[in-house]
Structure 1
Amino acid sequence: MLSRTADSLYWMGRYTERAGNLARGMQVALRMAGLGESLGDTDNEWRSLLVATGAEPGFRAEHAEVTPEAVIRWLAIDAKNPSSIANCIEAARSNGRAVRTALTVDMWEALNDTWREMRLLAGTATDADRLPGFLDWVRARTLLFNGAAADTMLRDDGWRFVHLGVMLERADNTARLLDAKHTALDGPESEGAVAYAQWQALLRSVSALRSYQWVYHTRLQPKLVADLLILRPELPRSLLACHRKVDQVLDRIAESSGGRRGACHRLASEAHAGLREARIEDILAGGLHDFLTRMIDRNLDLGREIADFYLHA
Structure 2
Amino acid sequence: MPAKGEGQKIPGSSVNLLSRFAEYSFWLGRYVERAENLARLLAVTETLSADSEDRDSWVSLIQTFQDEEAYRETGKSETGLLIARWYLIDRDNPNSVISVLTMARENARALRHLIPTEMWRHINMLHADVANLTARKVTLVRLNEICEQVRLGCQAHFGVVDSTWYRDEAWLFHKLGCEIERADETTRLMDISNYKLMASDNALLPTKSWWNWLLRQASAYQAFRRKHQINAEPADAAAFLLFDSDFPRSVRLSVLQAFSRLDELETDYQSAPGQKLLVARTALSSRLKNRPEPLAGETLHAYLDEVQKDLIAFADAIADRYFDGG
Give yes or no for TM over 0.5. yes
Say yes or no: does 1:23 pair with 2:35. no
Which secondary structure does the structure 2 equivalent of 1:181 belong to?
Answer: helix
Q: Distance in 1 between matches of 2:218 and 2:183?
A: 11
Q: Distance in 2 between matches of 1:163 and 1:227?
A: 24
The amino acid across from 2:281 in the alignment is: A
Write the deviation string for residues 246-283 of structure 1: whole angstroms up to 9, x where unpaired.
111111112233242222243224423542x3445476
Preserved contact between residue 52 and residue 177 of structure 1 (Cα < 8 Å)? no
Counterpart in the other structure of 1:312:
324
Which secondary structure does the structure 1 equivalent of 2:92 belong to?
Answer: coil
Say yes or no: does 1:268 pair with 2:318. no
The amino acid across from 2:279 in the alignment is: R
Preserved contact between residue 243 and residue 268 of structure 1 (Cα < 8 Å)? no
Equivalenced residues, count? 308
Counterpart in the other structure of 2:10:
none
Preserved contact between residue 212 and residue 228 of structure 1 (Cα < 8 Å)? yes
Q: Distance in 1 between matches of 2:220 and 2:47?
A: 16
Counterpart in the other structure of 2:238:
226
Structure ranking higher in helix proportion: 1
- TM superposition score normalised by structure 1: 0.88
User: Which of 106, 111, 114 is the equivalent residue of 2:118?
Assistant: 106
Which secondary structure does the structure 2 equivalent of 1:96 belong to?
Answer: helix
Alignment of 1:264-303 (within 5 A): 264-275=277-288, 277-279=289-291, 281=293, 287-303=299-315
Change (3 A) 1:123 1:291: closer
Q: How far apart are 1:47 and its partner, in Å?
A: 1.9
Counterpart in the other structure of 2:150:
138
Q: How far apart are 1:132 and its partner, in Å?
A: 3.3
Change (3 A) 1:186 1:46: closer
Once the two structures are overlaid, the 10-residue window that deviates more, 78-87 or 118-127, is: 118-127
Change (3 A) 1:16 1:45: same
Gaps of 5+ in 1: none
Q: Distance in 2 between matches of 1:78 and 1:299?
A: 27
Preserved contact between residue 292 and residue 303 of structure 2 (Cα < 8 Å)? no
The amino acid across from 1:290 in the alignment is: A
Q: Distance in 2 between matches of 1:53 and 1:159?
A: 28
- TM superposition score normalised by structure 2: 0.85
Q: How far apart are 1:178 and its partner, in Å?
A: 1.9
Q: Distance in 2 between matches of 1:73 and 1:285?
A: 29
User: Which of 182, 187, 192 is the equivalent residue of 1:170?
Assistant: 182
Preserved contact between residue 46 and residue 67 of structure 1 (Cα < 8 Å)? yes
Which secondary structure does the structure 2 equivalent of 1:100 belong to?
Answer: coil
Write the deviation string for residues 71-110 of structure 1: whole angstroms up to 9, x where unpaired.
1111001122101001111110000001111111221111
User: Which of 217, 220, 228 is the equivalent residue of 2:229?
Assistant: 217
Q: Distance in 2 between matches of 1:256 and 1:116?
A: 37
Q: Distance in 2 between matches of 1:210 and 1:55?
A: 33
Alignment of 1:175-214 (within 5 A): 175-183=187-195, 192-214=204-226
Write the deviation string for residues 143-183 of structure 1: whole angstroms up to 9, x where unpaired.
11000111111221111111011100111111122223335
Preserved contact between residue 231 and residue 280 of structure 1 (Cα < 8 Å)? no
Write the deviation string for residues 118-138 of structure 1: whole angstroms up to 9, x where unpaired.
322345441345433321221
Once the two structures are overlaid, the 10-residue window that deviates more, 258-267 or 107-116, is: 258-267
The amino acid across from 2:88 in the alignment is: A
Which secondary structure does the structure 2 equivalent of 1:80 belong to?
Answer: coil
Counterpart in the other structure of 2:5:
none
Say yes or no: does 1:3 pair with 2:19. yes
Change (3 A) 1:186 1:281: farther
Which secondary structure does the structure 2 equivalent of 1:235 belong to?
Answer: coil
Change (3 A) 1:25 1:219: farther
User: Which of 61, 64, 87 is the equivalent residue of 1:49?
Assistant: 61
Q: Distance in 2 between matches of 1:257 and 1:166?
A: 20
Which secondary structure does the structure 2 equivalent of 1:101 belong to?
Answer: coil
Which secondary structure does the structure 2 equivalent of 1:126 belong to?
Answer: coil
Preserved contact between residue 39 and residue 151 of structure 2 (Cα < 8 Å)? yes
Q: How far apart are 1:302 and its partner, in Å?
A: 1.1
Preserved contact between residue 232 and residue 241 of structure 1 (Cα < 8 Å)? yes
Preserved contact between residue 17 and residue 169 of structure 1 (Cα < 8 Å)? yes
Say yes or no: does 1:66 pair with 2:78. yes
Preserved contact between residue 46 and residue 140 of structure 2 (Cα < 8 Å)? no
Change (3 A) 1:17 1:140: same
Which secondary structure does the structure 1 equivalent of 2:113 belong to?
Answer: helix
Which secondary structure does the structure 2 equivalent of 1:121 belong to?
Answer: coil
